[in-house]
Chains A and B, each alone.
Chain A
Amino acid sequence: MLTGKSVAARLAPVLACMGLLALWQIAALALNSDSFPTALEAMRAIPSILGDKEALINILASLRRMAVGFLAAVAFSIPLGLLMGRSASVASFCNPLLMVIYPVPKAALMPIIMLWLGVGDLSKTLVIFLGVSLPVIYHSFEGAKAVEEKMLWSGAAMGLSSVERMIRIVLPASLPEILTGCRTGLVLALITMVTSEMIARQSGAGNILFNALDMGQYDTVFAMIIIIGAMGIALDVAFESMRQRLVSWSEPQFDVPLSFS
C-alpha cells in the first residue's frame, strides 16, 4: 500500500527534474541566445534523434559497450579488491601500481590504445573497463579491510576453508562498500563512454553529441545532453533499487536528522 509519504518520496525526484527543466527554460528565455535553446526546443529535438534509426543503433551500441566494460570490470575487480583487503602482501604488491594508475584519465589513453587496437569496440570497451575497475578495486579493498576479525575467527573455528570464508563472510560483509564503489564506477563508465566516443569519432552517443556541437546544431546538442543525462539517471535508479534490496540491512537511518537545532 502506498502511503502519502512514500508517494511524496517517489514524486520528489520527478519534481526536481521538472524544476531544473523549468529553470533552464527561464534562463534560456532570459539569455535569448542562439547557442542556448530553451528546454522545450531541446526536448522537441529528442523524437527526431530517437526516431532516426542510425542514431538509435549508435546509442544502443554505446550502451552495449558500456555494459560489457562495466560487467567485466566488476567481475575482475571485486575478487582482486577482496584479496588485497585480506592479505597485506597482496595489498602492498598492488597498491603503488594502482595509485599510479588511478589519477590517469582513462579516456586519455584512448589515442594510444586506438593506435594499437584500432577505433573499434575493443579499444572503447577496454577504456571503460579500466575506468570502472579502479574505484571498484579501491572500495572492495577498503570494505574487506574493515571486516571484523572476530567473524573470520568464528568462521575458521567452525571449519570454513579460507576460500569459503572469503565468499561467505568477507564478501557479504563488505558488500555495502563494494556497491558504493560500483556506483562510482557506473558514473565513471558513462563519463568514459562519452569521452571515448568523442575522441574516436566513429559511432556512439558521444559522437552524435560532439558532431552536433561542431556543426552548430545546438538543439541536437542539448537534446543529446538530455538523453545521456536520462541514461545516467535511469541506470542510477535501477542500480539503487538493486542495492537497497541487497544491503538494506546496513543502511544507517538517514531520515532522522541531527537534533540540535
Chain B
Amino acid sequence: MSARRFTIDGLIGAIPIALLIGLWQALVSFGYAPPTLLPPPGLVFERMVHQLTSGAFQQAIAATVFRLFAGFAIAVVLGVGLGLAAAASPAVNALMRPIVRVLAPLPKVALYPALLLLLGFGHESKVVLVAADALFPILLSTYYGASTVEQKLIWSAMAAGTPPRQILFKVVLPAAAPSILTGCRIGLVISCIVVFLAEMITSTDGLGHVLVTAARTFQAVDMFVPLITISLLGLILNGLLQAARSYLLRGFPEV
C-alpha cells in the first residue's frame, strides 16, 4: 500500500491548495480584487523566486532562522529539563506547579515591551520571547509524558539494578519521548509565529521587518513573499521534526 497510497494521498491533499490558488487567480482575473490589493499568484511567485536569490532577503531569512533556532533550542532544553525534574521530584513539583499555572496562560507578547526595555532591540529580546512562548507547551507535555510512565517499567529497571539517576535517562526519558515530541511540534509552530510577530513589532531585519516595510509602502506583492517564506520555513522545520520523530521513535508501536 505504502508508495501508491502515499501518492494518492498527496494528490488529494494537493486539491485544496490548487483550488485556493485557482480561486486567488480567478478573483484577480475576473476583476473582483484590484491587483494593488491582491496581486496575481504568478506575480507573487515570480517575485518570490527573485527575492530568494537576492542577498538582502537571504540575510533576513538568516536572521529569522537564527532567532527561531536559538529560542526554540533554549525552550527545548529548559522545558524537557524542568518537566522531568517536576515529574521526578515532589518538592520541585510543588514549587513549580503554581508558577507554571500563573506564567503559562500569560500572553508573552504582552511582555515584549518589557523585554525590549530591558534587553534592547537586538537579538536577545526576540530570542527570549520565542523561548518564553515555546517553553510551556514543551514543559507541560514533558511533564505529562513523564508522569504517565508505567510504574512497572521503573520497577523492572530498579529490579535489574539500575541506579535511580540512570532510570531518569534510560527509562523515563525514552518512555516520555512521544509526548515530548508532540510538545516540541506545538512549540515549533509557536516559535515560527512569535519570531515573526516580534520582528514585525520592532526590528531592523528579519522576515517580519520585510513584511512591515512592504505594508507601510503598500507593496502588496512584497507582503505576500515573507508570509509564504515563513510558511515554507515552518513546513521544512516540521518535516525535519517529523523525520527526527520517526527516527527517535523507531521502536515504538504505531507512530
A residues neighboring B (CB under 8 Å): 12-13, 15-17, 19-20, 31, 33, 35-36, 89, 92-97, 99-109, 111-112, 115-116, 135, 184, 186-187, 190-191, 193-195, 198-199, 209-210, 213, 218, 221-222, 224-225, 228-229, 232-233, 235-236, 252, 254, 256-261
| B13 sits at the interface (CB 8 A) | yes
Contact B99 A20 (CB under 8 A): yes
Contact B12 A93 (CB under 8 A): yes
Contact B201 A97 (CB under 8 A): no
A186 to B110, CA, bound (A): 15
User: A-side binding surface: helix, strand, loop or mixed?
Assistant: helix
Q: Interface size (B, Cβ < 8 Å)?
A: 79
| B146 sits at the interface (CB 8 A) | yes
Given A16-B102, A210-B113, are A103 and B238 neighbors across the interface (CB < 8 Å)? yes
CB distance from A78 to the nearest CB of B (A): 18
CB distance from B41 to the nearest CB of A (A): 14
Q: Which of B15, B137, B144, B231 contacts A93 (CB 8 A)?
A: B15
A214 to B16, CA, bound (A): 42
Contact B196 A97 (CB under 8 A): no
Contact B109 A195 (CB under 8 A): yes
Residues of B within 8 A of A259 (CB): 151, 154
Q: Which of A12, A108, A228 contacts B211 (CB 8 A)?
A: A108
Residues of A within 8 A of B151 (CB): 258-259
The contact string, 1 if C-beta is below 8 Å from chain A, for chain B 204-238, is 00001001100100101001101100110111011
Given A103-B192, A105-B197, are A191 and B109 neighbors across the interface (CB < 8 Å)? yes
| B203 sits at the interface (CB 8 A) | no
A225 to B106, CA, bound (A): 9
User: Which of B51-59, B114-122, B245-253 lies at the binding interface?
Assistant: B114-122
Name B200's closest neighbour in chain A (CB-CB).
Answer: A108
| B20 sits at the interface (CB 8 A) | yes
Q: Which of B102, B197, B208 contacts A13 (CB 8 A)?
A: B102
Residues of B within 8 A of A20 (CB): 99, 102-103
Contact B234 A104 (CB under 8 A): yes
Contact B114 A103 (CB under 8 A): no
Given A13-B102, A209-B113, are A104 and B147 neighbors across the interface (CB < 8 Å)? no
Name, among B16, B93, B137, B193, the residue most crowded by chain A CB atoms within 10 Å (CB to CB). B193
